Amino acid sequence: MKSLAALIIATLGLLLAGQSQAGEAIVLRFSHVVAPDTPKGLGAEKFKELAERYTQGRVKVEVYPLAQLYRDQEELEAVQLGAVEMVAPSLAKFGPLGIKEFEVFDLPYLFPGWAALHAVTQGTIGKELLAGLDSKGIRGLAFWDNGFKIMSANRPIHMPQDLAGLRMRIQPSRVLQAQMKTLGVVPQIIPLPAVHQALEMGVTDGTENPPSNMLVQRLSEVQPHATLSNHGYLGYAVIVNKAFWDGLPRDIRSALERAMSEATQYTNRIAETANAEALAKMKAAGTTLFHEQTSAEREAWIKALEPVYADVAARIGKDRIDAIRAVTGLTQ
Residues that bind ligand LMR (CB under 6 A): 33-34, 40, 90, 146, 171, 192, 209, 213
Closest distance between ligand LMR and the C-beta of residue 246, in Å?
26
> Which residue has its beta carbon closest to ligand LMR?
90
Whichever of 26 and 140 has its CB closer to ligand LMR, that residue is 140
d(CA 141, CA 264): 10
Whichever of 144 and 309 has its CB closer to ligand LMR, that residue is 144
Q: What is the largest CA-CA distance in the chain?
A: 62
Closest distance between ligand LMR and the C-beta of residue 267, in Å?
12
Whichever of 237 and 248 has its CB closer to ligand LMR, that residue is 237
Quick check: 97 and 106 in contact, CB under 8 A? no
Closest distance between ligand LMR and the C-beta of residue 332, in Å?
25
Closest distance between ligand LMR and the C-beta of residue 212, in Å?
8
Q: Which residues of 103-121 are buried (b: 16+ CB within 10 A; e: fewer)?
A: bbbbbbbbbeebebbbbbb
d(CA 314, CA 269): 35
- Using alpha carbons, list the distances in angstroms from residue 47 to 16, 40, 227, 228: 22, 10, 33, 31
Whichever of 55 and 206 has its CB closer to ligand LMR, that residue is 206
Closest distance between ligand LMR and the C-beta of residue 105, in Å?
12
User: How many residues in the chain?
Assistant: 332
Nearest alpha carbon to residue 234 among 38, 67, 37: 38
Whichever of 80 and 146 has its CB closer to ligand LMR, that residue is 146
